[in-house]
C-alpha cells in the first residue's frame, strides 16, 4: 500500500514537473516561434515568387523550429522542476502541508494516493494562444498572399529560346535550303540572330531581348514579303513585255521598263537580296528588246524559275502568291487610271500582324504598301440610314487619330469605343 502510494505520488510529481517544464520551454519558444513564422511567411512569399521547391522550404522551417526548440529547452533548463518540486506543487495543491515532501524524506508514511486529482495548475491560455494564433496568421499570409512568379511562364521557361528566334532560325534554314537569297544576306541574318544568342542565357527572356528578337523576326518577314512582291512585280513586267512584244507603244514600253526597273532597284537595295546570279540574269532583261530576244524556251524556263522563286519566298514569308498577284493586278493601272479600285483592304482580326500594321498607317497613305492591311473591321457595320454623318461607311478605314485620340482609339476595345462614341453623341 505504502509502496504503491509512493509510486503513485512520484508518478504524479513527475507528470506535474513535466507539464511545467514543457510550458517553460514554450515560454521561451513561442516568442521566437512568432519571429520564425514571420521569417517563414516572407520565405514562403519569396519561395512562391521564385518557385523554389516546397520540400526545401518545409525542411528549412522544420529545421528552424527544431533549433528554436533546442535553444528554448536550453534556456529553460534553469527553471526546470524536479520530481521533488512536483511533489511540493502537489502538496500545496491538495493542502497536504508538506506531507509529501516529508514522506519523500522518509519521515512519515505516504498519504493515500487513491484520490482523483487534476494537475495542480491553472492554465493561462492568453499567454499561449496569441503567439500561436499570430504564427498561424503569418503562415497563412505567406501562403495566401498572391504573388506573381518571378520566373518566365512555363511555356517560355521550357522553350530553349524565344519563339521569335525560332522563327528567324526557321527562315534562315529555309533560305539556306532554297538558295534563293544571297548567302551574304543569310549570313547577316544569322549574325544578327547569333548576336542575340550571344547574351547570357538568363537574359534571353528579358523584355529587351524579346523585343529585339521580335523586331528581327518582323523585319525579316517584312523584307521577305517585299522581296516576294518586288520579284512578282518584276516577273509581271517581263510577262507584260513579252505579251505586248513589238506592239507595245513606246509609252507602254517605257512604263513597263520603269516598273521593272523599280522592282529591280528595290530588290537590289533590299536588306534581303536575292541570289546574285538571278539578279544578274534579270538585270540583263531590263528592256523590252532584251526581253524579246529571249527564245520561247528560255523565257519559259526563266518564267518557271521566277515563279518558283516567288512561290518559295511567299511560302517562307507566309503569303499566298495568288492573293499577292491579285492585289498586284488590281493596282496595275495606266496613265488614265486612278489609284486603283481598292489598293488597300480590310483583313480579319485573326490575321493581325504587328509588322504589317506598322508598315501601314492610315494617316500616311503615301507610305502604304500594296496589299497591306490598313485597319480592322471591329464591329458590325450599322445600316446606312442610322449611321451618323461623322462615322465611316462600310469598307472605309477608321482613322487612327492624332494626339490623344490615338490613345482611346488604339487602346479601347471596340465595345468600349462604341460605348464612348455613343456617350458623346
Site of interaction with other proteins (CB under 8 A):
19-20, 23-24, 26-27, 79-82, 84-85, 88-89, 91-95, 97-99, 101-102, 104-108, 117, 119-125, 127-128
Q: Which is nearer to other proteins, 34 or 224 (CB)?
A: 34
Q: Which is nearer to other proteins, 121 or 143 (CB)?
A: 121
Minimum CB distance to other proteins, residue 66 (Å)? 21
Q: Which is nearer to other proteins, 131 or 162 (CB)?
A: 131
Minimum CB distance to other proteins, residue 204 (Å)? 56
Minimum CB distance to other proteins, residue 157 (Å)? 49
Q: Which is nearer to other proteins, 100 or 196 (CB)?
A: 100
Report how far residue 320's alpha carbon sits from residue 337's, in angstroms, rounded to the nearest whole number: 26
Q: Which three cell numbers stand for residue 354?
A: 504587328
**The Cα angle at residue 389 between residues 386 and 391, in degrees rounded to 5:** 85
Using an 8 Å Cβ cutoff, are 221 and 317 in contact?
A: yes
Kindly report the backbone phi and psi dihedral angles of residue 18, in degrees, each rounded to the nearest multiple of 5, phi listed first.
-65, -40
Which residues fall within 8 angstroms of residue 68, CB to CB, at 6 or more apart? 29, 32, 33, 36
Report how far residue 306's alpha carbon sits from residue 157's, in angstroms, rounded to the nearest whole number: 42
For residue 366, give the DSSP letter.
G
Minimum CB distance to other proteins, residue 92 (Å)? 6
Q: Which is nearer to other proteins, 74 or 123 (CB)?
A: 123
DSSP 23-88: HHHHHHHHHHHHHHHHHHHHHHHHHHHHT--HHHHHHHHHHHHHHHHHHHHHHGGGG---HHHHHH
Q: Which is nearer to other proteins, 108 or 394 (CB)?
A: 108
Which residues fall within 8 angstroms of residue 174, CB to CB, at 6 or more apart? 312, 315, 316
Q: Which is nearer to other proteins, 95 or 250 (CB)?
A: 95
Minimum CB distance to other proteins, residue 127 (Å)? 4
Minimum CB distance to other proteins, residue 134 (Å)? 15
Minimum CB distance to other proteins, residue 11 (Å)? 15
Which residues fall within 8 angstroms of residue 50, CB to CB, at 6 or more apart? 149, 150, 151
Amino acid at each position: 500500500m505504502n509502496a504503491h502510494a509512493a509510486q503513485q505520488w512520484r508518478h504524479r510529481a513527475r507528470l506535474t514537473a513535466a507539464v511545467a517544464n514543457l510550458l517553460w520551454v514554450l515560454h521561451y519558444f513561442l516568442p521566437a516561434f512568432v519571429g520564425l513564422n514571420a521569417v517563414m511567411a516572407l520565405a514562403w512569399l519569396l519561395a512562391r515568387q521564385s518557385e523554389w521547391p516546397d520540400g526545401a522550404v518545409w525542411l528549412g522551417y522544420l529545421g528552424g523550429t527544431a533549433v528554436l526548440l533546442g535553444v528554448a529547452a536550453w534556456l529553460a533548463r534553469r527553471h526546470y522542476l524536479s520530481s521533488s518540486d512536483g511533489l511540493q506543487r502537489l502538496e500545496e495543491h491538495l493542502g497536504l502541508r508538506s506531507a509529501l515532501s516529508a514522506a519523500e524524506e522518509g519521515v512519515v508514511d505516504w498519504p493515500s494516493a487513491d484520490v482523483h486529482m487534476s494537475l495542480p495548475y491553472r492554465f493561462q491560455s492568453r499567454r499561449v494562444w496569441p503567439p500561436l494564433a499570430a504564427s498561424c496568421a503569418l503562415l497563412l499570409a505567406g501562403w495566401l498572399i498572391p504573388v506573381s512568379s518571378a520566373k518566365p511562364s512555363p511555356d517560355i521557361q521550357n522553350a530553349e529560346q524565344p519563339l521569335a528566334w525560332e522563327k528567324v532560325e526557321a527562315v534562315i534554314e529555309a533560305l539556306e535550303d532554297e538558295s534563293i537569297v544571297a548567302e551574304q544576306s543569310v549570313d547577316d541574318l544569322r549574325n544578327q540572330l547569333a548576336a542575340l544568342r550571344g547574351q547570357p542565357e538568363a537574359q534571353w527572356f528579358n523584355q529587351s531581348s524579346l523585343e529585339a528578337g521580335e523586331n528581327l523576326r518582323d523585319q525579316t518577314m517584312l523584307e521577305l514579303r517585299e522581296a516576294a512582291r518586288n520579284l512578282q512585280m518584276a516577273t509581271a513586267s517581263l510577262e507584260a513585255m513579252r505579251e505586248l512584244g513589238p506592239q507595245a507603244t513606246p509609252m507602254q514600253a517605257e512604263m513597263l521598263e520603269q516598273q521593272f526597273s523599280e522592282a529591280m532597284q528595290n530588290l537590289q537595295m533590299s536588306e534581303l537580296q536575292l541570289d546574285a546570279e538571278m539578279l544578274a540574269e534579270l538585270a540583263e532583261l531590263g528592256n523590252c528588246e532584251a526581253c524579246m530576244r529571249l527564245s520561247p524556251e528560255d523565257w519559259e524556263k526563266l518564267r518557271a524559275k521566277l515563279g518558283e522563286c516567288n512561290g518559295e519566298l511567299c511560302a517562307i514569308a507566309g503569303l499566298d502568291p495568288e492573293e499577292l498577284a491579285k492585289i498586284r493586278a488590281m493596282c496595275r493601272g495606266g496613265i488614265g487610271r486612278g489609284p486603283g479600285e481598292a489598293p488597300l483592304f480590310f483583313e480579319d482580326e485573326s490575321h493581325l500582324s504587328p509588322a504589317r500594321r506598322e508598315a501601314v498607317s492610315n494617316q500616311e497613305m503615301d507610305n502604304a504598301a500594296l496589299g497591306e492591311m490598313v485597319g480592322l473591321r471591329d464591329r458590325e457595320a450599322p445600316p446606312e440610314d442610322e449611321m451618323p454623318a461623322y462615322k465611316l461607311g462600310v469598307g472605309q478605314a477608321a482613322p487612327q487619330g492624332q494626339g490623344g485620340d490615338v490613345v482611346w482609339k488604339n487602346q479601347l476595345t471596340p465595345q468600349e469605343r462604341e460605348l464612348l462614341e455613343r456617350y458623346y453623341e
